[in-house]
């Protein structure tokens, strides 16, 4: 009987020794699964940050377009006269500075266009750029089929895009926000 008990003890001890701990292979597989999970989380965080930046830029573009629309609606006679219609940025600040001096409606229109373009470019003063402005932004006010359109374009992915299709049709096109003011004054 003692031989049988010894055999049982030996078998139990062998099972216990085998059941203790993890093998190196199990540990390596667990670490690989953990590493893949961590890489997935990092990829998700990067994608989320990109989408957050895009959303923030779109919100800024909407606010900038709305600001120009407000300026135009406050000086509607000059809008109808074409003083706000432009596709390029003015090169210098108009004289007089309507923020600190009285202006005629046509001078106010020129100042509004300049001030809006300065906001688009993030320029507070001529020599400094305000952090947080849209990347490589540009703006235009156009008349299309009798309707006034305010457009803001920017390079959201900083790829060096230069295309101007709006809505975006090609990867080389800048991102675009369009605000349609409709027809002002003499609507058909």
Report residue 58 as tokens.
Answer: 């779109």
| Prediction pTM value | 0.72
Interior angle at CA 33, CA 28 and CA 39, nearest 5: 120
Query: Tokens 């008349």 map to which residue?
Result: 143
H or E segment and range at residue 128:
strand 128-129
Specify the pLDDT at position 8. Answer: 62
Contact 141, 150 (CB under 8 A): yes
Query: Which of 79, 136, 78 minimizes the C-alpha distance to 105?
Result: 78
Pairing label, strands 138-144, 128-129: unpaired
What share of the chain has pLDDT > 90, as a percent? Answer: 32
Specify the pLDDT at position 15. Answer: 59
Cα(36)–Cα(62) distance, rounded to whole angstroms? 39
Sequential pLDDT tens for the chain (188 residues): 555 656 666 665 655 555 566 788 888 999 999 999 999 999 999 888 888 988 999 999 999 999 999 999 999 999 988 899 988 877 778 888 888 889 999 999 999 999 898 888 877 655 555 555 788 888 999 988 888 999 999 888 888 888 887 777 777 888 889 999 888 766 66
* Tens-digit pLDDT profile for residues 168-186: 777 788 888 999 988 876 6
Interior angle at CA 134, CA 149 and CA 64, nearest 5: 40
Cα(79)–Cα(74) distance, rounded to whole angstroms? 9
164 by Cβ neighbours in 10 Å (0-12 / 13-18 / 19+) ranks as middle
């Amino acid at each position: 009987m003692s031989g049988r008990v010894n055999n049982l003890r030996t078998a139990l001890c062998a099972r216990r020794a085998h059941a203790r701990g993890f093998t190196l292979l199990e540990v390596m597989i667990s670490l690989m699964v953990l590493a893949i999970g961590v890489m997935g989380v990092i990829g998700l965080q990067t994608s989320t940050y990109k989408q957050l930046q895009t959303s923030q830029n779109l919100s800024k573009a909407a606010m900038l377009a709305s600001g120009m629309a407000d300026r135009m609606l406050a000086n509607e006679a000059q809008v109808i006269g074409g003083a706000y219609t432009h596709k390029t940025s003015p090169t210098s600040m108009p004289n007089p500075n309507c923020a600190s001096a009285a202006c005629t409606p046509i001078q106010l229109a020129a100042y509004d266009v300049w001030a809006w373009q300065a906001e688009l470019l993030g320029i507070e003063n001529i020599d400094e750029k305000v952090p947080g402005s849209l990347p490589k932004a540009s703006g235009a006010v156009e008349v299309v089929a009798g309707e006034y359109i305010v457009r803001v374009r920017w390079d959201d992915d900083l790829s060096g895009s230069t295309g101007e299709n709006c809505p975006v049709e090609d990867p080389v096109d800048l991102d675009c926000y369009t605000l349609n003011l409709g027809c002002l004054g003499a609507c058909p």
